[in-house]
Structure 1
Amino acid sequence: MQPRLSRKSVFRKSSAWVAVTAALTLCTTAAANQIVPDFPDSDYQARVASVEDILGYPLGTRISSPEQIRRYYDYLASAHSQSIRLVPYGESWQGRELYYVVISSPQNLARLDSIESNMRALADPREINDNRARELMRDTPASVWIANSVHGNEISPAESSMALAYHLLADRSSKTQQLLENTVVYIDPLQNPDGRARFVSRYYATVGLDHSADRLSAEQNEPWPNGRTNHYLFDMNRDWLALTQPETRGRIAALQQSFPLIFVDSHEMGGDLPYYFSPEAHPFNPHITQPQREVLEWVGRNNAGWFDRFGYDYFTREIFDAFYPGYGASWPLYHGSISMTYEMGSSRGHQFRTRDGKVLTYADTVQQNFVAFMSTIELAAERGNELKQRFYDYRKNAVEQGSRGDVRSYLFPATRDAAGHQKLAAVLSEQGIEVHRATANFSACGNDYSEGAFVVNAAQPTYHLIRTLLDDNVPMDDDFIAEQERLRANNLPDQIYDVTAWSLPLMFNLDMNTCNRAPRVALERFEGERIARGSVAAPDASFGYIVPWGDMAGVRFLSAALQAGLHVRSSDLPFTHDDEIQYPAGSLIVSRAGNPDDLTAQVQRIAEASGAHVQGVDSSWMRSGPNVGSANVQTMHRPNVAMLWDEPANVLAAGSTRFVIEREANYPVTAIRPAQLRSADLSQYQVLLLPATAGGSYSQALGESGRENLRQWVQRGGVLITLGNATRFVVEGEQPLLQSSLEPKAQPSEVSGRDTSVAEIITSDAQYNHRIQDASADPDWVSGVIARVNVDQEHWLTAGVPERVHSMFIGRDIYTPLTINHGRNVANFAAADEVLASGYLWEDNRHQIAYKPLVMVQPQGRGMVISFTQEPNYRAYVDGMHVFLMNAIFRGAAQAQPVR
């Protein structure tokens, strides 16, 4: 490598900055001696200010905050606008602007709109022919999108983005100039600014006289919640499937404006590992094509060449697979781009001592990311023509496959759960999938559909994404499955990295049919919002209003009505009004009596915002079912809802639970730490939720005093709701709050009943495998499947919930059913031959899960315990369970009998 040229400062530092810099030198590390970026033959020009010039410290010597990173990019965009453009694309929950920058030659940047228009044209082969496509490809440079630090505590990628931007703008070498002429480089510096801000502030709050490299130090161990997640504690690298977070939605919209040919999702992992890059581990999603996998190999080989040149270690084809479509490194693949994960071993601070005794510095990590980024841009520049052709071919072949496959259309009747269908149609549209609505009644493949049914034609450029999101099941390779079974049989860890099921229609619990032809009906393009505008029929009706229950529109109406102080009642049973309209159990009744004079205006306002369709009625008379004054019609109180917050709660479980209640149901939640729950007066709260844990114990965190405090609160009329493995807390102890128990792994009789004191002769592999089983073992861990669940229709907790729903099943917790004298099992997993709806489930688990409870309710004094044995809010994408949870909160509070 050529010797590096010195930088020249072009900005005078203030005396305050000098003082700060002087103070920082007291705790600098070896990172200060490493110059970043470092690349062969670079010729940096003083006209471009470095990070040190703008921020006051050399790159890699301090972990920059979101505000500092933004300050540097603001400088670049202002001072060098001919070569870099800053583009806002959204806002985080905490109000930080999300943005990306575009860097290229001045000539390319001047026609950026045209370049992006060309890519959008190439993305739809239905509108152009091959000759036009070749013209567009000749006129369009290659493009690379580098997305950084979606996990806020994965710190080096965001810093490395500044190294890359500086290098591309300041280096006048012919090599870099050629790269800029042949590529457009998109950089998303910081995908998760809220999480990074949390990490940076907490990290520097722990620093003493020097930065510690000890993995036991406070600097290397973040408090709860760590910086990985965004404000609502979501792992946004799992959110590209359902788009629950504004950061993800903005990013996906931006990508569909530019369709980059290569997308890099830059992460960090444990500091004892070297660098990871593509190709990915098995299994591959079957909708990732062989040409795409070939390009992943190209990228990996080019990276390897540069890492060999610099002497950096790396690994490929291990740990990180390409099966689950909800990663940033996966989703663009189903649009025809090439996307991949880069993982740098993290210093998690200024320095980290690895297990082999080496000290990994922050500057090391920033530099290695920078080299990987440069290698990727080089590959794109050199093979841009092939990349463009493969992108176009992918989209063209997708249309052809969708037009001739066994599944040519997906049909959603939308006769049940209108709000759920509306939301799913919107999510699919946001993903770039064309969704239509029928303008008349029609029949297709033996089924009848009404006007308004949703239709997704498979003959689209997004065919592979459609199949991935909508098919009931996406299979893993048979040889991969066989290997996992072999590992399990030998008590070795399996290699399944994430969930094996994610079908959106199943998780939304919506009716969907497939058809081998496109329906013959006039269609209109759906471009609606996630929540349709609600309505009120007969708003001047003399008695009041009825709101059907069973979807989130009704939940949002109830939430808003209670917060507005309206008097609302809800029926435990279905009923038919005098006008012959049938209403499901749970339906809301809002009478004029007992409500304010402006009730009509309030109901109309709430209906429009919530999406609910409200029916005005002149009479309270019911043709069947309970009348309004029946004991089976409950007054809905406005509950104060609390949830446990902090260790040992699982960060993701706590965040998704709070998000679903606050942002899907629009109802406030008070977060309370375990220390307060041990002895606090909880009488002002009617509902308390315990989210799943991350492996710790609520019994230990709350202690006996906390358990007794909760017991007395429930006895006095509180509703305690446990989610997922938090249910362990209520089944533990000498006087459990719930009369269920965790099951051990079901064993064959020859294992569970064997006499280990008697010698035996082993004559087969099967006998040997039985012989070595642990009779007291827990069930095998399930990575994540979608299970069918049967729902008891004769309990108030299941009001508006259909007879069958779908739940995620993850982990190994299986509970014994409640006996009838203690409570009710209101939802149970289906029989063994039908319990698996999607994914891969170990055979032993499939049999043991059958008929076991998903939801249990047990009265306790004036209150009750409601337990969901699996998380109903997992990643906030199991929408089909939302009404069930809201029943537990709102209807549970109405059924309890506290002293009011």
Structure 2
Amino acid sequence: MRYLLAMIILLVQSLFFAAAKPLDYYFSDSITFNQNIAKPSDVLGYEVGQWHVRHDQLVQYLKVLAQQSERINIETIGYSHEQRPLILLTISNKSQLDNIESIRKQHLARLNDSSKDSSGPAVLWMGYSVHGNEPSGSNAAMLVAYYLAAAQGAEIDHLLDNTIILLDPSLNPDGLARFAQWANSNRGMTLSSDPQHREHVETWPSGRTNHYLFDLNRDWLLLQHPESRARIAKFHDWKPNVLTDFHEMGPNSSYFFQPGIPSRTHPLTPDENVKLTDMLANFHAKALDDEKQLYFTQESFDDFYYGKGSTYPDINGSVGILFEQASSRGHVQETINGTLHFAQTIKNQLTTSLSTFSGVVKHKAQLLNYQQKFYGEANKLAAKEDFAGYLVAADGDQQKFFAFLELLKQHQIDAYPLTSDYKSFKAGDVFIPFEQPQYRLVKAAFSEQKNFKDNTFYDVSGWTLPHAFNLPFESVKSTRALKLGADVWREPSARQQSELANGYAFAFAWQQFNAPKMLNFLLKNGIEARVALEAFSAKTTVGIHKFKAGSIVIPAGLQRNEKWLEILNQAQSKFNVGISSIQSGLTSDGIDLGSRFMRPVKSPKVLLVGGEGVSQYELGEMWYHLDRHIELAPSIVEQTRLSQVSLGEYSHIILVDGNYSELTEQLNNKLRSWVKEGGVIWGHKRGAKWLVDNQLLKAQTISRQEMSEQFDTKQLSYKDRDHLSAKQRIAGAIFATKMDLSHPLSFGLQRELLPVFKNSTWLLKPTEQPFLTVGRYLDKPQLAGYAAPENVVKIANNASVIAHRLGQGSVIAMTDNPVFRGYWYGTSRVVTNTLFFGRLLTEQGR
């Protein structure tokens, strides 16, 4: 019996560990290791690739390495949204680690002084798995760290003598943890390679994204998340010569490394950068040749958008390199190239990590010289420009303005405050000069280029930062007429707010970005508030003050909370939005405080529809906006559960971009009844399309098919298909709309012009009925980024926002995503206004 039991155990183990690969599978027999340094299996309890490593296990192992090896320093540079540590290893020989701060300063000093020789170690940043469900990178990071900590011999000594290696083992800890849980939970003792097996088909949302369902590989420029902000701070502390970015792609592919398609490199990236990338590619090719692994280069991927991990370095004097490994999306999967094991995907990532080391050491001098030249020639290139830089206006919203400038500051872009007015710009606005080390990044961040050598884009083609923040800006030919502060802009301390005492009423403007967050705070604390639908002037403790439409009024006589005045003082201090004390209900101009145009506002309760079919990115962006910028917790409900929910509990329902075809006719009727009884429903992109298709929104549309069919295809050959596809789509460009500033959905906007981000060709037509079209595209709407002329003409003068009453409720639709990637502060105001003022619409749709 005991013998039989032992045999059963051995059989189970043989099946269970069939995919396990020992250390000698990953490393050549020629490499010897220090046996006093723990192998991954010593800490994990299993071989690398046998299970998907959890983030906590990854951190645990790397901490053990740092304790055991004199070659490694480890630090926590921040925390993810879910409070997982963002760790960074600094790896070199002991002598250099002992003097690491001095070496760092010397490395940076060379960039600002071309007279200094370009000797010293090269700096590499090795970054893994920014997409959590592309885990081969983070699993390979353990092996890379082990090699650097424990390998022995002349080769590793030469590497460590000539480099400082910054190893970021998990660019997205929350996503990695989510996917590891998925893959491990669905793994059997006998592995299934069937692509249809649950292990290989994640449910919504996938582990690709971070906590708020953002793609962190699009956040390097936008810096909306703690993972990105921590990384960029360290990036600029070091300014590495090379940064690697390890990804995965579809299982039926092979292995990709840059350079990508040559014509799809951003024009601001120096040609020498591409040559250096190509030079390093020879090392990757040889290493993969030796392993008899399939690979490709110079196709599929571009190097254009500077917000990605492999491209952000290119505009900052580094060489960014993208690696893409065919994914097993689990532990083993059948592909067109045979059975793909997780261990093989890890090994390929290890192989190209080591080949990167070889290439950098071999060409260290060229990499150091290139980076020094990149920064050394910045001012010379700036002097050749037709203008000196950009003026940017606060436009009445200091909080949004400061958020914009703080973003630039994190990218080490210098801005100088105006000390006196200049044309339409006011003292306190800023000038951003070209002549500074970040000249190229300034040019990229403000670019309004519309056409390029190759108009095919893997990602967005326009990302002009001041447009995203809806801030007026213009180029300036010369600084001679400008009066500027001597020091670069620094965010001032919060202004001390005056203590509020007794008054007839209190009011604050809606223009400040924090005003909605403050209003929601007040409403949740029982404060009764009104919104002024028209402007008025009133006597305050500091004289007559003009309040614009959208201002929030808090009548003293309506308050029931005994601590209401204390709450007001707390609010204006917390949110840095000034509150005025009004002395009388009789105004000197405009509506009085008891007017019927002073309408009650209520705290919204939002249902955000999610689940399979809904874009996890756009749902995450909306969730992030509501949570971060309004401090409002939406109830996220999957489509499959919506029929079980009592809709009467909610004031608002939001449909982001997605496929809502699974919603039943019975549920459609339920939603329509909910709106007619007083609910407010918002939809954008395909969410708006659903509102039209189900006759909640009284509007006509222009379909994607109609947009595509306007292109003549009669004379095209097979090779023209990619070019046609590039023309038919809008990969991501910026368009100008004109908003009706008198409409409640526009409250807080300072200008009729509102830039929007557009990555869809679906359109709403303006309504023939007056007062329903809140915003429409201009006659010449293209502001930045590529769009085919045929599409631009078709978009012109169509609707961007339509809103009307339906019964006692309201239906509001927008053609574009107002909270794209979290940094579109300008258009986000439209959806914010929907939450607080959506019930105030008066015009019924017919």
TM-score by length of 2: 0.93
The amino acid that maps onto 2:826 is G
- On the 8 A contact 1:551/1:883 being kept in 2, the answer is no
**1:818-847 alpha-carbon deviations (Å, 9 max, x no partner):** 3317x701111111xx21011111122111
1:3 is matched with none
Query: Residue 757 of structure 2 is aligned with which of 800, 808, 825?
Result: 808
Q: Deviations over 1:341-385 (max 9, x none)?
A: 1111111111121124x1111111111111111111122212222
Q: Is the 8 A contact 2:701 2:764 kept in 1?
A: yes
Say if 2:295 is the partner of 1:306: no
1:50 aligns with 2:20: no
SS of 2:670's equivalent in the other structure is helix
Match of 1:837 in 2: 783
Pairing partner for 1:589 from 553, 561, 576: 553
With over 3 angstroms needed to count, the CA separation of the structure-2 counterparts of 1:778 and 1:251, relative to structure 1, is closer
CA distance, structure 2, for counterparts of residue 731 and residue 29 of structure 1: 54
Mapping for residues 198-597 of structure 1, pairs under 5 Å: 198-281=178-261, 282-356=263-337, 358-438=338-418, 440-443=419-422, 447-473=423-449, 475-477=451-453, 480-481=454-455, 495-518=456-479, 519-528=482-491, 533=494, 536-537=497-498, 539-540=500-501, 542-578=503-539, 579-595=543-559, 596-597=561-562
Alignment-mate amino acid for residue 251 of structure 2: G
Distance in 1 separating the partners of 2:518 and 2:738:
27
Q: Could you tell me which amino acid in structure 2 is paired with residue 800 of structure 1?
A: G
Structure-2 separation of matches of 1:216 and 1:748: 33
Whether the 8 Å contact between 1:149 and 1:157 is mirrored in structure 2 is yes
Aligned residue for 2:615?
650
**1:412 and 1:512 in contact (8 A); partners too:** yes
The CA distance in 1 between the partners of 2:522 and 2:9, in whole Å, is 54
SS at match of 2:46: coil
Q: What residue is the counterpart of 1:699 in the other structure? A: 661
Counterpart-to-counterpart distance in 2, 1:21 and 1:156 = 29
Partner residue in 2 for 1:120? 108
Q: Secondary structure at the match of 1:377?
A: helix
Tell whether the 8 Å contact from 2:608 to 2:634 is kept in structure 1 after alignment. yes
State the distance in 1 between where 2:63 and 2:101 align.
21
Q: Per-residue deviation at 1:554? A: 1.5
CA contact (8 A) 2:804 2:842 kept: no
Quote how far apart the aligned CAs of 1:192 are.
0.8
Call closer, same or farther: CA 1:825–1:29 in 2, change over 3 Å.
farther
Deviation at 1:656, TM superposition (A): 0.3
1:451-495 Cα distance to aligned partner (Å, 9 max, x none): 211221211111111111122337522xx24xxxxxxxxxxxxx4
Question: 1:875 offset after TM fit, Å?
Answer: 1.1
1:706-717 equivalent positions in 2, closer than 5 A: 706-717=667-678
Structure 1 letter corresponding to 2:229: R
Shift of residue 533, structure 1, vs aligned partner: 2.7
C-alpha offsets along residues 127-161 of structure 1, whole Å, 9 cap, x if unaligned?
A: x4x33x21xx33x3111111110100001000111
| TM-score, normalisation: structure 1 | 0.87
- 1:111 maps to a residue whose letter is N
Secondary structure at 2:190 match in 1: coil
Distance 1:747 1:201, change over 3 A: closer
CA contact (8 A) 1:534 1:609 kept: no
Is there any run of 5+ residues in structure 2 with no aligned partner, and where? 1-7
- Structure 2 counterpart SS, 1:212: coil
Inter-partner Cα distance in structure 2 for 1:767 and 1:214 = 42
State whether structure 2 residue 53 is matched by structure 1 residue 64. Answer: yes
1:638 to 591, 594, 603: 603
1:126-165 aligned within 5 A: 128=113, 130-131=114-115, 133-134=116-117, 137-138=118-119, 140-165=120-145
| Alignment CA distance shift 1:736-1:549 (3 Å) | closer
3-state secondary structure, aligned to 1:678 = helix
The amino acid that maps onto 2:228 is T
SS in 2 for 1:835: strand
On the 8 A contact 1:546/1:617 being kept in 2, the answer is: yes
Residue number among 78, 82, 86 corresponding to 1:94 in the alignment: 82
> Any conservation in 2 of the 1:533–1:609 contact (CA below 8 Å)?
no
Would the aligned equivalents of 1:151 and 1:227 in 2 still touch at CA under 8 Å? yes
Q: Deviations over 1:176-232 (max 9, x none)?
A: 111011111111001111111111112222223422112111111000001000000
Q: Does 1:110 align with 2:74?
A: no
Q: Secondary structure at the match of 1:525?
A: coil
Return closer, same or farther for 1:719/1:21 CA change in 2, 3 Å cut-off: farther
Q: Distance in 1 between matches of 2:636 and 2:45?
A: 39
| Matched-pair contact (CA < 8 Å) for 1:555–1:883 | no
Name the SS for the 1:225 alignment partner. Answer: coil
Q: Provide the rounded CA distance (Å) in 2 between the counterparts of 1:232 and 1:537.
A: 37
Partner Cα distance (1:502, 1:21) in 2: 58
Aligned AA for 1:740? Q
Q: Offset of 1:425 from its aligned partner?
A: 0.3
Q: Show the counterpart of 1:685.
A: 650
Residue 538 of structure 1: how far off its partner (Å): 6.8
Contact kept in structure 2, 1:830 and 1:850, CA below 8 Å: yes
Change (3 A) 1:20 1:224: farther
Deviation (angstroms), 1:20: 11
Q: Against the structure 1 CA distance between its residues 77 and 589, is the aligned structure 2 distance closer, same or farther, given a 3 Å change threshold?
A: same
In the aligned structure 2, how far is the partner of 1:386 from the partner of 1:379? 11
Residues 420, 483 of structure 2: 8 Å contact kept: no
Matched positions, count: 823
Question: How many Å separate the matches in 2 of 1:577 and 1:817?
Answer: 37
The answer to whether the Cα contact below 8 Å between 2:52 and 2:183 also exists between their aligned partners in 1 is no
Instruction: Write the distance in 1 (CA, Å) between the matches of 2:395 and 2:124.
Output: 44
Aligned to 1:864: 810
Aligned partners of 1:584, 1:843: CA distance in 2, in Å? 39
How much has 1:22 moved relative to structure 2? Answer: 9.3
More displaced 10-residue stretch of structure 1: 406-415 or 217-226: 406-415
Equivalent in 789, 794, 797 of residue 737 of structure 2: 789
Decide whether the 8 Å contact of 1:637 with 1:893 is kept in 2: no
1:74 match? 63
Instruction: Say if 1:116 and 1:259, in contact at 8 Å, map to a contact too.
Output: no
**Post-superposition offset of 1:172:** 0.6
Any idea what the Cα deviations from partners look like across 1:767-823, whole Å, max 9, x if unmatched?
A: 7579x99xxx999321111010011223222222231101111122112333317x7
Q: Look up the match of 2:794.
A: 848
Q: What amino acid is aligned across from residue 408 of structure 2 in structure 1?
A: L
How many angstroms apart in 2 are the aligned matches of 1:716 and 1:23? Answer: 61
Provide the rounded CA distance (Å) in 1 between the counterparts of 2:49 and 2:714: 58
Residues 667-724 of structure 1, C-alpha deviations (whole Å, 9 max, x = no match): 221111223322422112101111111xx3x132x21121111111111100011122
Matches of 1:583 and 1:20 in 2, distance apart?
A: 79
SS at match of 2:138: helix
Deviations 1:554-604 (A, max 9, x none): 122212212222111111122233444332221111232223454444223
Which stretches in structure 1 are left out of the alignment for 5+ residues? 1-18, 482-494, 753-764
Quote the residue 1:825 is aligned against: 773
Aligned-pair identity in percent equals: 25
Counterpart of 1:762 in structure 2 is none
Determine helix, strand or coil for the equivalent of 2:284.
Answer: helix
Q: What is the alpha-carbon distance in structure 2 between the residues aligned to residue 339 and residue 744 of structure 1?
A: 35
Shift, 1:166, TM fit:
0.8
